[in-house]
Chain A
Amino acid sequence: MENVQTNITKSDFQIDGQVKWCAGCGSYAILAAVQKALPATGVTKENVVFVSGIGCSSRFPYYMKTYGFHTLHGRAIPIASGLKSARPDLNVWITTGDGDSMAIGGNHFIHMIRRNLDLNVLVFNNKIYGLTKGQYSPTTPFGAVTKSSPDGTIEKPFEPGELVMGAQGTFFARVIDKEIKGMEEVIIAAAKHKGTSIVEVLQNCVIFNDATHECIIGKDVKDDRTIYLEHGKKMIFGKNRDKGLILDGNDLRVEKIGENGVTLDDILVHDKTIQNPNIHYMLARMSYPDLPVAIGVIRSVEQSTYDALLQQQVDEAVANTKIHNVLDLLNSGKIFDI
């Protein structure tokens, strides 16, 4: 993030042409949040690259006035990995969906995270295949009836956060597509994190899976079924802010403050920076109806990144060699002068 341009604004990232998602699609809000967030991350217009795979989410680069690469189904990750490894100076983003990143691109997803490449990944999780018109995805709930599961799915869904923790991820956050302000803050945090930042966006597909997240984020239920995490703050939630999370044995439990002898002091404080991922894992997998769904930055820890280590190895090798070019190489080692 060199040459910080202070004068860039949202409009610098807006294209002149038309954006073509379905009316009411959650992707519009994500686009707006990204365009608003980018100027605050210290990037230059030319150093931002958006890479995507295939799916509705993956049209994103065409709607960003940056360098962009719309690639193959599932392959945004390795293409972005190559780009970032070759060019650590670039600010590289991946937009992907639940099918793109967790089905066909699932292998790349875990390996990117394990390597901790400094990539920013927005996972548009609408729990359905939209572009192919309504088949179940790896995040579709067990039993859901879709076009390819007329009798209900018989597969347990992935929880993206569990994969992130399982692959030793260093940054995981969850946001809601209609909350642009919250999304913007998390996107800035993701951009600033050195390492693979995974941002799961609970996104609505108005056509094929409308209201899939409503049981959690619907107006009437949201306060009691979600918890907004803030680093260093007590993990409390509820319409009356009277419920909190405590650690009970090996699991998290919801307690009402003031009942059963539970006081505010008993409620856990969120620490996104602890290296041990156990609590982050528990927070990431909290789900309705047993526990509130965690929103915000769940994990953000510092670790070395693949791209920086690779560059370091190259720089050290270049500094410590007597073979500086191909001509030197050709004449090195065992030569037979006949």
Chain B
Amino acid sequence: MDKKPVIKVRGLYKIYRVGTNKVYALNGVSFDIYKGEFVAIVGTSGSGKSTLLNMLAGLEPPTKGEISIGGKRVDKMNERQLVSFRRDNVGFIFQSYNLLNTMNGIENVAMPLMFKGVSKSVREKKAEKYLKLMGVADQAKHMPNQMSGGQQQRIGIARAMVVDPKIIFADEPTGNLDSKTTMDVLSLMQKVVREQGKTLVMVTHDNTIAGYADKRIRIVDGKIVSIEYSERGTEIEGEETEKEEISISLGGNPGENSPEKN
């Protein structure tokens, strides 16, 4: 693989102080994630997988180490830069959906565009497109409390995609769903990666769910114990070529060269 990684992590540490003890939430983690990959970060609770995701998304600063996303050093950004970085590059899918209860489906999807200052008519048109893609166009005018968990999470995925981000982070996206809906949502996420050429990083504790990803980064006690690539998922293999074709667009990223300099 001579492609440049979208996410490059080198020697990442996160150390919490509990009294006089040092707790290593992350203990020297290094890995690369390439464009168009569906990556699962797998680990038991307390393994540091959520901490890793938070740091990738710039929600938590690392104690030590280097995180580059699309060639930009996330660990060096201040809070304001991080906000605009997230706004332009990152989509988020939450375990508990985190839809705003005061807004209906379409408004929730359009919300990240609102933060960008896109006008109402433009953003709702775009939101509608993603609602259709996720198969929840009929929920556009419903409030979140009128929807099922699966519907809410589809809205959540649409919301993550509406800004056309380079990377989508998903924190236990199926954690609150029953097994059937879990499968629906997972196949939707696969579809996003395959058809939209997105890079998706998912955190989960469940090996079965992690099996739907192309690549699994296993974390135990803040260390990567293995990185596995998927061999079995037939539906994944069959679409591999298509995935490669879509992934060209990243080449134009202006910050692409900076990882070499660092």
Task: Tell whether A and B belong to one assembly.
Answer: no
Interface set of A (CB-CB < 8 Å, partner B): none
Interface set of B (CB-CB < 8 Å, partner A): none
